[in-house]
Structures are given as structure tokens and as C-alpha cells.
Amino acid sequence: MLGKGLPADPEGIYALAARSMFQLFSSMSQGMFLADKTGRIVWLNEGYELLLPRLGVASVHDFLGHMVEDVIPNTQMRRVLETGQPVLIDLLTNRAGTFVVSRLPLRDDEGSVIGAIGIVLFDQPETTLQPLISKFALLQRDLDEAKRELLAQRSRSLRAMASGERRAKYSFASFVGSSPAAVEVKRQARRAAQSLSPVLLLGETGTGKELLAHAIHGASARACGPFVSVNIAAIPDTLLEAEFFGVAPGAYTGADRKSRDGKFRLADGGTLFLDEIGDMPLSLQAKLLRALQEGEIEPLGSNQLVRFDVRLLAATSRDLPRMVREGLFREDLFYRLHVLPIRVPPLRERAADIAALVEVLGEELALRNDMPVPELDAAALQLLAVQNWPGNIRELRNVLEQVTMLGDDARITTPLLLQVLQSAGVKPVQLGEALAAQAPADAMVADSALLRPLAQQVAELEARAIRASLAANGGNKLATAKALEISRATLYDRMAALQIR
């Protein structure tokens, strides 16, 4: 219910609030002035008159009617008049001193800039804003300390690279995507990084499991320790045991006279990542389980037990529960690894991330091949977003690289993209087919209407919404802005951009 004395109509309330705010700023600020759209000063209050001698202005008559730049050195008021963008808080320093100021554009009923108001909020901010300045100084000190620590970490990383030490190459920022699926998997991985329990990364090939393993190590308490990765599928079964546990001098015919450390020893104090653990032979699974349970290994040809301290990460694209049921993977080892399982989603469940992935992969390709960054038209990007991508991000990278190499310029078009997909033996999913699978036939939109720049389609929809709301509110712009849940200034800006009269 409206309070006593308030106007009954929304326009009246708005006008009253505007007058009240103007009077409040005029009385409480250190000074205030108005300039017209040409930048000529047309009004100032008593507070600003007191500042004139410090500006070197003898009287009000020498201030009014002059261009703002001529009487207020270093002012940025001209930018506000030209752009129509307010500057809510700024520091202005000139011969009069240092001030905290605001600059606000003034608009007519049609939204056009007709002038601007300058407000001196605080004089001598080093005194009046001392609590805020002190807090800022503390934040700045913390920031400087963080910068020094990052520089020290970078120096340690460079020294480690120079000495051949094993370090994580990727962080969570390297896992590109803001879709719900991507956000959830990063959330789970960050939580796993705070634990010392084994992590099992599950997902199809090419989804980024190894990247996440690097990121988990880099965000863990063991980040300063080594990160050692073993791709089990790439090592012959006969060499796996030596690869894991190491070899004593002369352990077998042809063995080196010097001992050779295995991956457990190399990862001591850090993280050991076992990629494609589903390919590990049964004969080695029992030895791996014992090593994990006892925290010790016995190198080939040695009778000495060697202690180790390793955090284990594992990954597989295989169905481990099914392999357990079929006797292809030890059940006890499965439960030892399956403490913190994280399912990494396939690319087809992250269609919203395609655009961001294309941008990042395109920049990598351009940097590696010393060429312009590839650009996709809207239709080509939509075509990529509806593909099934059985090879996931690895397949997407391959397609982009092929298209980039085949194209005459950096622009990637839909026909060229279709050609590459078909030459790879893939039956491309057309955009129309994807829409048909999601919508009833009577609700289908013609492909030709959708295969246009996205910005153009959004602008058309926005214009229709504004016109409909204006018609429903009898042309009342305040009511229209309220119905659309935007400010009146934003409504004016959008109407001007969309040429709505």
C-alpha cells in the first residue's frame, strides 16, 4: 500500500524519487554541477562554488558557460557525454587536489543524452576514506604476497623442467566448459584433490581423463611432488612389472648393471597416474593390490622391500564392473580403486561447450602452425554441436585441424565441414535431423530459418518482445521496462539499437 503523500501513479512516484535523489546529492555532496550535451557548464550548487578558488577560477561567472575541460583540468566528463555511460566512482586529481567523483549522463524521455551531472562525493579522500584505504592496502599486500608465491612456484616449475622432474601440465582451467556436466565433473575433481584416497576416472576415450588427473594433482597437497603417468595399454605385458616396481642390478640376462627405479619409486611423495588400468593383466593385478595395501614394493631381482608414499589416480574407458563379473578384473582391486569414482562425460553430453572448445582448440592450432585462428560461421558451429562425437574432444580436434588445413582462409564454412566429416567415414548428423528428434513435426522450424547468424535471430526475438510489451502497456515505457524486468535506460538503449520508434 502506498504511503501517505505519495503520488498514486508510477510516473509520479518516479518523478518524485528523481527530485528527491537530486536534492539529496546536492545537499550531502561536496559539490555538484551540470553540463549540457555540448559540454558547457550550465549550473552548479553552493558546495561547488567553494571549490572554485582551488581550481583557479575567480568567480561563478568565470565558471558558468565555459566548456568543462577549460575550467576542470583532467575531467573525463566529455567521455560520459559522448558514450552515455556513467562513471559511478572515480578519482580526479588536479590543481585543486584529489577527489572521489561520480559522472552521470542525463537523458530525455526518448533516451537521448542531453547533458551530464558531475558530483564531488569526497574531498581529500586520503582522510575521509582512511578505513577503506587501509582495507585496500591490506588487500594489496595480500595480492603482492600471492604474486611473489606464484613467481616462486613458477621458478620452481622451470627449475624442475630444466632438471627433467615430472610435473603436472594442466590445471582445472584447462578443462574447458561451463555446461552443467562440465561444472559438475570439475566440482567432484576439486573435492577429490583435497583427499588422499584413490581416484578412479571413468569415461570414454578422448574425454579428458588424463587432463583431470594432472589437475587433481596440481590442486592437491602433493602438487610440489612428482606426477608420474603410466599408460598401461602402451606397455607390453612382459615389461609392466619392471615398469611398475623397478629392476635390481643384473636381475635377468641383458639387464643393466645399475638398478632401475620403477614408477612407484619415481612417484614417491607425489602422484602416480595409471591410465587405461582396465588393460592390466590379471597376473599383475594381485601384485599391484598388495603394493597399494602394504605401501611397499619389491624390485625385480631384489629381496629388499622398498617403502613408498604415493597417491594413486587411475583411469579407464572400459566397463570395470562388467569385467569384474566376467573374471577379467579382480574384485578386490576394483574396490581398492573405486573409492572416489568420477565419471567424465562424453562430448555429446556437453554440446553447450562446443563453442568454447572450438575457440581454445582453434587457438592451439593457430599457435602450433603459425596461422590465423580459424573462424566458424554460425551454421558450421551449430552443425558441430549436434554431432555424436564418438571420439570426443580428440575427434573434434582432428576435424578442426583437417578443416583448417583444407580451407583457403581462416573462415570455416558448413560445406567444407560436411566434406571433412564425410571423408572421415562419419555420417554427419544434420541440424534438421537433430531438431526433428527433439520436437514434434507440427512444431518444427524450417532449417533455413535457423541456419542464420545467432545474433540476428536473438535481435529479432528481442524486438518482437519489446513491441509486444509496448503495445500491451499502451506505449508507456516505464511500464514496459518493468514488465520486461529491465531498467528504463536499458529499454531506451535496446529500442535505439533495434530501431524501434
Q: What is the DSSP string of 358-414?
A: HHHHHHHHHHHHTSPPPEE-HHHHHHHHT---TTHHHHHHHHHHHHHHHSSSSEE-H
Among residues of the chain, what percentage have pLDDT more than 70? 84
The residues with which 34 forms a beta bridge, in sequence order, are: 43, 117
d(CA 177, CA 306): 42
Q: What is the pLDDT of residue 345?
A: 94
Alpha-carbon distances, residue 76 vs 83, 111, 334, 453 (angstroms): 11, 21, 66, 37
Q: What is the pLDDT of residue 166?
A: 64
pLDDT tens for 417-460 read 888 888 776 666 654 454 444 444 333 344 455 666 666 777 77
Alpha-carbon distances, residue 230 vs 19, 85, 278 (angstroms): 71, 56, 13
Report helix angle 392-406 to 414-423, nearest 10. 120
Which of 225, 264, 226, 258 lies closest to 245 in space, CA to CA? 264
For range 128-150, the mean pLDDT: 70
Q: Which amino acid is at 413?
A: T
d(CA 449, CA 457): 9
d(CA 322, CA 335): 14
∠ CA 23-27-31, nearest 5°, is 110
d(CA 397, CA 190): 26
Grid cell for residue 345: 562425460
d(CA 343, CA 320): 13
Q: Are 177 and 357 a contacting pair, CB within 8 Å? A: yes
pLDDT tens for 253-266 read 555 566 788 899 89
Q: Are 145 and 329 a contacting pair, CB within 8 Å? A: no
d(CA 327, CA 282): 9
Which of 373, 493, 499 lies closest to 113 in space, CA to CA? 493
Element (H, E) at 113: strand 113-123
Q: Which residues lie below 8 Å from residue 248, measured CB to CB, with a gap of 6+? A: 259, 299, 300, 301, 302
pLDDT tens for 14-47 read 777 777 777 777 777 888 999 999 999 999 998 8
Chain Cα centroid distance, residue 61: 54
pLDDT tens for 278-302 read 999 998 999 999 999 988 988 887 7
Torsion of CA 285, 286, 290, 292, to 10 degrees: 20
Q: At 336, give phi and psi (nearest 5°).
A: -65, -35
pLDDT tens for 81-99 read 999 999 988 888 888 888 8
Between 445 and 393, the more confident residue is: 393
Q: What is the pLDDT of residue 67?
A: 94
Grid cell for residue 239: 615389461
pLDDT tens for 43-87 read 999 889 988 998 889 899 999 999 999 999 889 999 999 999 999
Q: Are 366 and 373 a contacting pair, CB within 8 Å? A: yes
Please list the alpha-helical segments (H only) found in 90-208.
Answer: 125-128, 130-162, 180-193
For range 225-234, the mean pLDDT: 92
pLDDT tens for 300-325 read 877 788 899 999 999 999 999 999 99
Confidence of residue 2 (pLDDT cuts 50, 70, 90): very low
The residues with which 91 forms a beta bridge, in sequence order, are: 100
Alpha-carbon distances, residue 115 vs 55, 81, 104, 422, 424 (angstroms): 22, 6, 9, 60, 61
Grid cell for residue 96: 585543486
Give the strand pairing for 199-202 and 340-343.
parallel
Chain Cα centroid distance, residue 20: 42
DSSP character at residue 258: S
Question: Reduced to 3 states, what is the DSSP secondary structure of residue 72?
Answer: coil
Predicted TM-score (pTM) of the model is 0.56
d(CA 110, CA 108): 5
